[in-house]
Amino acid sequence: MAVGYDIDADVRALRGALAAHGITLPSLGVDPLNLAGGGGQPQLVALGNCNAATARRLTDVLRAAADA
C-alpha cells in the first residue's frame, strides 16, 4: 500500500459519495488482483459492472459537476 493511502477507506468514501447522488455500483471494491500482486504496485479499485440506468445516472452527475 502506498504511504498515506488506505484503499479500503477510499472505496468506502467513493461508495458514500456515489450514494449521496443515488448511485450504487454493486461490485465496487478493492480489485482482487491487488491481493495477489507484489508490493510496490499501485492498488486498484474495481468499479465493476452496472446497468444502463446506473451508467446514465453516473454520466449525468459527472457532467453536472463538470459544468458547476
pLDDT digits (tens, 9 = 90+) for 12-39: 999 999 999 999 999 999 988 876 666 6
Residue burial 13-43, b: 16+ Cβ < 10 Å; e: rest: eeeeebeeeebebeebeebeeeeeeeeeeeb
- Quick check: 45 pLDDT over 70? yes
What count of residues does the chain have?
68
Domain boundaries, the chain: 7-67
**H or E stretch covering 66:** helix 52-67
Averaged pLDDT score across all residues of the chain: 86
Residue scoring higher pLDDT (5 or 26): 26
**18 φ/ψ angles, rounded to the nearest 5 degrees:** -65, -45
Report how far residue 15's alpha carbon sits from residue 68's, in angstroms, rounded to the nearest whole number: 22
Task: Tell me what the mean pLDDT of segment 3-7 comes to.
Answer: 72
